[in-house]
Amino acid sequence: MSIFDKAYAFDAAELARRANTYPYYPQLDHPEGATVVFEERRRLNIGSNNYLGLATDRRVKQAAIDAVNRFGTSVSGARVGLGNTPLHDELEAELADFLNMPAALVFGNGFDTNLGVIVTLCGPGDYVVLDELAHRSIVDAAKFSGAELRRFKHNDVAALRAKLEACPRDADKLVVVDGVYSMDGDLAPLPDIIEICRLDPRVKLMVDDAHGAGVFADGRGTAAHLGVADEVDLLMVTFSKSFASRGGAILAEASVVDYLKHTAAAMLFTVALSPADTAAALAALRIVRAEPWLCQSVLATSSRVREGLFDLGFAVGGESPIVPVLTGDQSTTVSAYWELLRHHDILAGIIAPPAASYRLRTSYSAANSAADVERVVEAFGGLGQRFPHLRAKR
């Protein structure tokens, strides 16, 4: 017996046999706009978080190349030591300015940002209260922090209130929600959540806006879209989606950012975001500011797809670029994925538990054309004929 037994018992090949063909870890090549080469054919990628299409933008790529030429491929150390560059500081300053928050701190990725912030600010005796669909990085961070973990029913403000009221009055509490939920694409009811949080002066609110920043309110995110940007205590964003890079940032009042900057393990004990990644995020941020129509475009495109799918009978809702199509089980999910790929040259995202219930996660981009929208709707029309239960409006 050993800790390896679970690995020996796990049979990835069985997944493939059951589902006919193994769909995970496809090798993608030569991305261009909303397309990518897979198995030697150019396909439409409708599973990406590259919401503004900037990951292949000439200017963003050039910024990354220039940064490599100036700073090398790695800074080979933590920012607090000898791993910082002017790019990191510029990115923080411009991000704080754009999002209208006092200060920002850039981490190596979004996952680390949530981990670094929550583990550093919360500990035994505190309460971390999460929406049940909060991102995995938030759940893990809350567990690692040693704080008491409480979860409330998704987007249910009365349930949040009840959970908070059940915490000791004299304990510190952190409420964490996603601005946009990555699997369903729905938004948190932030104004109502804030109203509840403000009932108790010991509650702070953190919003993970990985999928809302760079999309809503001309890029300023979900809280700005809902008119409550000033009310968020800790705003988390990632660069791995709209901002065409990797990395993440926390925005908050200056003293909190300064504290995290000097104490968060996920900041101090890991290498800084690479120069190329930092420059790409900075270039993307500048483009978002200069060209807000990109944000408007992705929202218009995703609305058109959503309406098209709804008219076909699919149960789609929400208002973000994320349009999930629920599939019910693994075999339908994988068959539907292959059907889209083989017959329509369309690559969709496959989602399975524990990430969320079985679905094709589709998400759109400012790089999509009107013809792409038609092609996607037509492809789903065909899919709905083959798998009629997909069209059962839920």
The reply on whether position 182 binds ligand PMP by CB under 6 A is yes
Nearer to ligand PMP, 140 or 339 (CB): 140
Segment holding 88, helix H or strand E: helix 86-98
Contact 50, 347 (CB under 8 A): no
If one asks whether residue 248 binds ligand PMP (CB under 6 A), the answer comes out as yes
CA distance 393 to 378: 18
Measured between alpha carbons, how far is 31 from 232 in angstroms, rounded to an integer? Answer: 36
Identify whether the C-beta of residue 232 lies closer than 8 Å to the C-beta of residue 218. no
Closer by beta carbon to ligand PMP, 111 or else 364: 111
Q: Token pair of 23, please?
A: 């769909």
Q: With respect to ligand PMP, which residue has the nearer C-beta, 137 or 362?
A: 137
Task: For residue 233, give the H/E element and its range.
Answer: none
Give the range of 104-112, 156-164, 257-265, 267-275 binding ligand PMP by CB under 6 A. 104-112
Burial-class residue 354 by CB neighbours within 10 Å (0-12, 13-18, 19+). Answer: exposed
Shortest reach from residue 189's CB to ligand PMP, in Å: 16
Residue 196, classified by CB atoms within 10 Å of its CB into exposed (0-12), middle (13-18) or buried (19+), is buried
Cβ proximity to ligand PMP, 204 vs 211, nearer residue: 211
Distance CA(63)–CA(245), nearest Å, equals 11
Closest CA to 121 of 228, 267, 247: 267
Q: How far is the CB of 146 from ligand PMP (least distance, A)?
A: 21
Decide: 313 and 384 in contact? Cβ < 8 Å: yes
Shortest distance (Å) from residue 112 CB to ligand PMP: 7
Residue of minimal Cβ distance to ligand PMP? 110
Q: Does 109 bind ligand PMP (CB under 6 A)?
A: yes
Q: Is 111 near ligand PMP (CB under 6 A)?
A: yes
Which of 189, 185, 184, 195 is CA-nearest to residue 207? 189
Among 50, 137, 145, 332, binds ligand PMP (CB under 6 A): 137
Phi, psi of 65 (to 5 degrees): -65, -45
Q: Which of 55, 197, 205, 210 binds ligand PMP (CB under 6 A)?
A: 210
Binders of ligand PMP in range 73-92 (CB under 6 A):
none
By beta-carbon proximity to ligand PMP, the closer residue of 83 and 247 is: 247
| Contact predicate 306/298, CB 8 Å | no
CA-based nearest residue to 30, from 56, 53, 5:
56
Per CB under 6 A, which of residues 280..309 are in contact with ligand PMP? none
Binding residues with ligand PMP: total (CB under 6 A):
15
Does position 35 bind ligand PMP by CB under 6 A? no
**For ligand PMP, which residue of 208, 218, 277, 372 counts as binding (CB under 6 A)?**
208
Q: Is 178 in the site for ligand PMP (CB under 6 A)?
A: yes
Name the residue nearer to ligand PMP (CB basis): 110 or 308.
110
Site residues for ligand PMP per CB under 6 A: 109-111, 114, 135, 137, 178, 182, 208, 210-211, 238, 240, 246, 248
